[in-house]
Amino acid sequence: MTNQALPLFRLLDVEKIYRIDGGGWSRLGIGSRRQLAALDGIRLTVRTGDSVALVGESGSGKSTLLRVLLGLTASSNGRALYQGDDIETLADDKRRAFQRDVAMIYQDARGSLNPRLSVLDLIGEPLRQHGLCLAAELRDRVAVLLTRVGMSPDTADRYPSQLSGGQVRRVAIARALASQPKVIVADEAVSGLDVSTQAQLLNLLRGLQREMGLTLLFITHDLAVASYLCSRIAVMYLGRIVEAGPTKEVLRAPAHPYTRALLRASPRFFEPIAETLEGEIPSPIDLPAGCRFASRCPRVAPDCRQREPTLMTMRADRDVACLHPLFD
Amino acid sequence: MMHPVARQAEVAGSNVLSDRRDREPLLSLVDVSLARNGHSVLDRVSFAIERGETLGLVGESGAGKSTIALVAIGLLRPPAVTLDGRMQFAGHDDLLALPESAWAGLRGRRIAMIFQDPASALNPCFTVGRQLAGPLRRLLGLDRAAARRRAIELLESVGLNDAEARLAAFPHELSGGMQQRVMIAMALACNPELLLADEPTSALDVTIQAQIMQLILQQVRARNASCIFVLHDLALASQVCDRIVVLYAGQVVEAGPTEIVLRRPLHPYTNALRACVIELDTETLTPPDGGLPALGAMPPGCRFAPRCPSAKIACSLQTPPLRQLEGREIACWHPG
C-alpha cells in the first residue's frame, strides 16, 4: 500500500480515562478511586481531502479527542495513527513533518496569540520554525498570507490588542496556513462571533478548503455550521461517537435520538421553540451500565439500561450506536 | 418601597390609574442619545414596549443593544456617560433624570436583568442561597426563615430539582444551565414588571438554550410581565419576540412586529443580517463586507451607507429619519 492510500488519521478504539483521587485516603489505597472516561471506544477515519465535523455539547469529549489527535494528550487505550504511525511515538523527523502538516486554529483565538508579538511575528513564526523561507522574504510571505485571509498587508505591524474579534480569527487562520499544512484542525473557530463576521469566516474557510485542497477537522456545536463546511459528521455524546456519516444524510434523517434532539433544538425562523431534551448531560464519572444517553432519551426501552450499544454500520456509510435507531 | 403585592392592590383600587396603565406602554424611549468620552454611542433611539410583550433588540456587536439594556435598568448613568432624551416607565415620566435613591426602588424590584454570562454574574464567594436570600430580605423585608422558604420556592419554579440542597451550593458547583436558572430565579424574586435578558443563552448548549428560553417565556407570561431580549441570533429572536428593533451603529434602522420585520425586511441592513444567518439547508452565505464604523468615525448621512448594496450618493448626505412604512418603522432613503 502506498502512503497515498493510507488514511491521514485513524483512531482505533481510543480511550482516555482519568483517575480521580478521592482525597488523601484514596491515595493510600483506602476508599474508592473513581474513573472519568473522557473518551471511550472512539473509532474515526479521516482521509485526505475529507472535511469532518465533530459535533456535541460541552462535556461530550470533542476537545479531548482533538488533543489526542494532535498528540498533546496520550490515550489510555487504543491507537491514534497518522499516516499509519502512532502519533504518540512518532520518530523525530516524522514528528517534525507532523507538526508542519497538521495546523490548529484554537477556540480562543485571542488567547492563542502572544499579545507581545506583532502580526508579522505571529504569522512569521511557523515560517521560521520550519525553515520555509529566507529572513528577507518573510514580510512578503506574511503579506501574501494576510491577503489570502482577506486582510490588508499593513496589518503586519499591528498587535492582537489592536484587532477586532473577527480580525484576530483571521490572523489565527493565516498563522495556521503559514506552514502549508495538509490538515487544518479547528476548535469552535467561528463561535461567539456576530452573524456577519461568522458568515465571512465560514466563506473564507470554505474557499481555502476548496482552493487549497485542505483536509478539515472542524469542531462545532452548531449543526448548521457543520453542514455548511463539512461533508462528513460525527456526533459525540459523553465520550462516545453516537452517530457518523455523510452530513447531509445524517441531518436529513438522523438515526440516533440524540442527533434528532440536537437538530430540533437548533433555532429555526418562526417556529415555536422545541424543548427536545430534559435534563442535562450527566457526569462522566462512574457512568451507569447501558446506553449513556438512556437518562435523557425520549425513546428509552428497558434493554437500553442493560446493554451498551456500540457504533455499528447500520446502512451504507451510516454508523449508529443505538439499540433502537430511528431508521424507518 | 412598597411590597409588590401591596402595590398591585393599590393600583387595582384606582380605576383612573389602571385605565392610564392600560393605555400607556410599560417602557418607552423617546430620542434617547448616549455619548461616552465625546463619542456618540446611541443616537436618538426610540421604541416602546407594552405590558405582556416580548421585544428583541438585534444587530451586530457594538450596535448599542446591551447599552440600551443598561440604560433601561439605570446602571449606565451620568457622569460616566451623557444622556439625552426621555425614558418613561409605568408612571415615572423621566427615568433618565431619576436620582439614584429613586432608582434603588425600581432596580431589581420592578425592572430586573438576566445577564449574559451567569458564571461571571454570580458571586463565586457566596452560596446560591445567600445570593438569592439577600435581595429577598433587603428588598422585600422578609425574615431569615421566610427568605429561605421563598428562595426554595423560586428555585423550584425555575426547574432546579433538589432546590433545598442547591441553596448550599457555590456557583462553580453548578453547570452553566443551572447557573442561568439561578440567575433567572434572582431576577424573578420581586415579580418585576420588566425583565431584561442580555443574550441569556449564548454561553449555553443548544438543548439547554431551548430549555432556558422556554423557561423565561413561561415565567414572563405567567406574570403578564414584559421582556426585552438582547439577541444576535435572528432565528432565535423570531421564535421568542413579539416585536423586533434592529439597531445599527447606535441607531434604530427598522422596528415593528416580528412577523413583518423579519419575514419581509425592507431595510437593506435587516436584509443583510438575514443573509448571514446560517440554517441547515444554507448553500451560500452572502454577508455584507466589513464591520461597524468605529465610534469616533461615524460616516455622515446614513451610517450603513458605506456597506449598503443599494446606497446612492444622497444616502451619505442626509440621515434618513425613522418613518412609518408598510406596518413598521424604518430609517432608509431607498427601502425594499
Which residue in the set B232, B259, B280 is minimally distant from A194, CB to CB? B232
Q: Which of the residues A60, A62, A167, A194 would you substitute to probe the B interface, choosing the one with the greatest number of B C-beta atoms within 10 Å?
A: A194
pLDDT of residue A243: 96
pLDDT of residue B47: 97
State the pLDDT confidence band at A103, using cuts at 50, 70 and 90: very high
What's the gap in Å between the CA of A233 and the closest CA on chain B? 13
- 3-state SS record for A217-252: EEEECCHHHHHHHCCEEEEEECCEEEEEEEHHHHHH
Chain A interface includes B282 (CB < 8 A): yes
A192 or A254, higher pLDDT? A254
Which residue in the set A165, A251, A271 is minimally distant from B239, CB to CB? A271
Residue B4 has pLDDT above 60, yes or no: no
Contact A193, A169 (CB under 8 A): yes
Query: Which chain B residues touch A189 with a CB distance below 8 Å?
Result: none
Which residue in the set B211, B285, B291 is minimally distant from A199, CB to CB? B285
State the pLDDT confidence band at A29, using cuts at 50, 70 and 90: low
pLDDT of residue A181: 95
Scanning chain A, the segments in alpha helix (DSSP H) are: 24-27, 62-69, 92-101, 109-112, 119-129, 138-148, 165-178, 195-212, 223-229, 247-252, 257-265
Tell me how far apart the alpha carbons of residues B172 and A42 are, in angstroms, rounded to a whole number: 30
Please tell me which residue of chain B has the smallest CA distance to A261. B207
B51 or B288, higher pLDDT? B51
- Mean per-residue pLDDT for A229-250? 95
- Mean per-residue pLDDT for B30-38? 94
Residue A196 and residue B239: Cβ atoms within 8 Å?
A: no
Residue A273 and residue B214: Cβ atoms within 8 Å?
A: yes
What pLDDT, in 10s, does the model give residues A125-144?
999 999 888 889 999 999 99
Residue B65 has pLDDT above 70, yes or no: yes
Residue A2 has pLDDT above 50, yes or no: no
C-alpha triplet A241, A246, A251: angle, nearest 5°? 80
Kindly state the DSSP code that residue B92 receives in the 8-state scheme: B
Residue B266 has pLDDT above 70, yes or no: yes
Which residue in the set A199, A225, A278 is minimally distant from B287, CB to CB? A199
What is the residue-wise DSSP string for A92-120? Answer: HHHHHHHHHHEEEE-SSHHHHS-TTS-HH
Question: SS3 for B78?
Answer: coil
Residue B19 has pLDDT above 60, yes or no: no
Contact B25, B92 (CB under 8 A): no
Which residue in the set A200, A228, A261 is minimally distant from B207, CB to CB? A261
ipTM: 0.84
Residue B122 has pLDDT above 90, yes or no: yes
Chain A interface includes B263 (CB < 8 A): yes
Which residue(s) pair with A14 in the sheet?
A: A42
pLDDT of residue A314: 86
Q: What is the pTM of this model?
A: 0.88
Report helix, strand and coil shares of chain A as percent, to nearest 5. 35, 25, 40
Residue B53 has pLDDT above 90, yes or no: yes
Mean pLDDT computed over every residue of chain B: 90
Chain A interface includes B24 (CB < 8 A): no
Strands of the sheet with A312-315, listed across from one edge: A102-105, A183-187, A215-220, A51-55, A232-237, A240-246, A318-320, A312-315
pLDDT of residue B61: 87
A36 or B20, higher pLDDT? A36
Q: Which of the residues A250, A269, A297 would you substitute to probe the B interface, choosing the one with the greatest number of B C-beta atoms within 10 Å?
A: A269
Length of chain A: 328
Please tell me which residue of chain B has the smallest CA distance to A283. B175
φ, ψ of residue A151 to 5 degrees: the values are -120, 155
Contact B315, B305 (CB under 8 A): yes
Chain A interface includes B175 (CB < 8 A): yes
Residue B87 has pLDDT above 50, yes or no: yes
pLDDT of residue A284: 83
> How large is the greatest C-alpha to C-alpha distance in chain B, in angstroms?
68
Residue B23 has pLDDT above 90, yes or no: no
What pLDDT, in 10s, does the model give residues B148-203?
999 999 999 998 888 999 999 999 999 889 999 999 999 999 999 999 999 999 88
pLDDT of residue A44: 93
What pLDDT, in 10s, does the model give residues A146-187?
999 999 999 999 999 999 888 999 999 999 999 999 999 999
State the pLDDT confidence band at A26, using cuts at 50, 70 and 90: low
Residue B132 has pLDDT above 60, yes or no: yes
A286 or A69, higher pLDDT? A69
How many percent of chain A have pLDDT more than 70? 94
**Nearest Cα residue to B191 out of B139, B243, B123:** B139
Exposed (0-12), middle (13-18) or buried (19+): which is A28, by Cβ within 10 Å?
exposed
Chain A interface includes B119 (CB < 8 A): no
pLDDT of residue B14: 44
Return the C-alpha cell found at B296.
469616533
Q: Return the amino acid letter for A225.
A: V
How many percent of chain B have pLDDT more than 70? 93
Kindly state the DSSP code that residue A194 receives in the 8-state scheme: -
Mean pLDDT computed over every residue of chain A: 90
φ, ψ of residue A93 to 5 degrees: the values are -65, -40
B301 or B20, higher pLDDT? B301
State the pLDDT confidence band at A119, using cuts at 50, 70 and 90: very high
